[in-house]
Amino acid sequence: MPNARSTVPGSVHHVISRFIDREFLVTSSNERARYLQLLGRALTHSDWKCVAFALMSNHFHFAMVAGEMPCESWTRRTNGPFATWFNETHARIGPMFASRANIWVTRSENVASVIAYIHNNPVRAGVVAVARGSSWTSHRAYLGEEAPPPWLALDEGFGRCGLDARTFDDWVASRSGMKVDDPSLERVKRAVRGRGAIVLGTPQRDPLVVPLLARRFAHIRPEPQHVVEVVASVLGIPPHSLRGQWDRNVRARAIAAQTGKALGLTYSAMAAAMGHSPQTAARLGSIELSGEAVAAVEVAVRRLYGAFASNERNDKAS
């Protein structure tokens, strides 16, 4: 399940491009200069702004202020041509970059830490003792020790960090031991896989927040536990009475199982919500309901659909 490109215009994004198999490919200043040249050219076709970078041997880091255009407006114009040039230069065949770049939205209070993390990459790799000792990042440009590329938004970076050139180096040095782990999104992917046509949006760290985006015209299935709670509310009974031993409140449990089925949930999902086996839920689903019970299913379905439609309207309004 791929991440959707739900970037946030005006916010800083931490963008990471990795090489195939984390292979150490970029080893010379000439190669890094070529990449930066292509990046600068690509940014003239994009409304994104670069505030920091680190070009390591097996991956590249960027702090970018997102524009209205997609991230690919500059990554495709940079990574593709660079890979072609690199392969021709080194008589190499095959892809260079591993899939799409990883993108993380950065909360405003964490921008200084992300830039420090990017500039300290050579320090953590053991290449240099301090960030200012490396020419692989934009750190020296921030200190005025190297001429910055014309496209590097230094003023934007200082403003976002809340620091000036005098205090910047000390701040970055104080964060040299900071690590930013890429949390696995597999647990989130598994949790939403049964909910219909949902994809993960661009996540943010500290704390981890992963937006969920519905595909157009998608049918989104509700949480099974929520179905149980709504059915209990419709029937005027406590939710816990629908959980546990299956032979109690069989009619109410059958209504819950069949409500879930009407909403696209499997009997296995409803069984887990009620503490039953899938076989028991299937038996409940096969029970013929009275007219009153069928009406209760219809009311529960309308309530659940109405709650989803309301959430969808609120999301669009925000």
Question: Confidence class of residue 218 from pLDDT cuts 50, 70 and 90?
Answer: low
Indicate the range of 21-25, 113-117, 162-166 predicted with least confidence: 162-166
Q: Which is it for strands 12-18 and 49-55: parallel, antiparallel or unpaired?
A: unpaired
Calpha distance 213→200 (Å, rounded):
6
CATH number of the domain enclosing 153 = 3.30.70.1290
Calpha distance 69→262 (Å, rounded):
40
> In this predicted structure, what is the pLDDT of residue 314?
42
255 in a structural domain: yes
Indicate the range of 179-183, 214-218, 262-266 predicted with least confidence: 214-218
12 backbone φψ class: left, alpha, beta (φ>0; ψ -120 to 50): beta
Tell me if 194 sits within 8 A of 221, measured CB to CB: yes
Q: Inform me whether the pLDDT recorded for 221 exceeds 80.
A: no
> In this predicted structure, what is the pLDDT of residue 101?
86
Q: What percent of the chain has pLDDT over 70?
A: 80
**Cis peptide leading into residue 2 (ω within 30°):** no
The token duo for 299 is: 């009311």
Q: Inform me whether the pLDDT recorded for 1 exceeds 50.
A: no
82 and 168 share one domain: yes
* DSSP 8-state class, residue 182: -
Calpha distance 145→137 (Å, rounded):
12
What amino acid occupies position 259?
A: T
What is the mean predicted confidence (pLDDT) over 249-272? Answer: 88
What is the extent of the structural domain holding 261?
224-317
Q: Which is it for strands 59-65 and 49-55: parallel, antiparallel or unpaired?
A: antiparallel
* N- to C-terminal Cα separation, the chain: 25
Q: Domain end: 133, 152, 174, which one?
A: 174
Mean pLDDT of the chain: 84
170 and 232 share one domain: no
Higher-pLDDT residue of 92 and 182 is: 92
What is the mean predicted confidence (pLDDT) over 10-21? Answer: 93
What is the mean predicted confidence (pLDDT) over 15-32? Answer: 94
18 and 167 share one domain: yes
Q: What percent of the chain has pLDDT over 90?
A: 54
CATH number of the domain enclosing 245 = 1.10.1750.10
> In this predicted structure, what is the pLDDT of residue 311?
46
What is the mean predicted confidence (pLDDT) over 271-276? Answer: 87
Question: Confidence class of residue 201 from pLDDT cuts 50, 70 and 90?
Answer: low
> In this predicted structure, what is the pLDDT of residue 67?
94
> In this predicted structure, what is the pLDDT of residue 132?
95
- Tell me, yes or no, if the pTM score tops 0.85: no
Question: Confidence class of residue 178 from pLDDT cuts 50, 70 and 90?
Answer: confident
212 in a structural domain: no
Which strands form 102-105's sheet, in the order they lie side by side? 49-55, 59-65, 12-18, 102-105
Q: Using only C-alpha atoms, what is the Rg of the chain?
A: 26
200 in a structural domain: no
Which of the residue ranges 40-44, 224-228, 311-315 has the most confident prediction, judged by mean pLDDT? 40-44
- The number of folded domains in the chain is 2
> In this predicted structure, what is the pLDDT of residue 237?
92
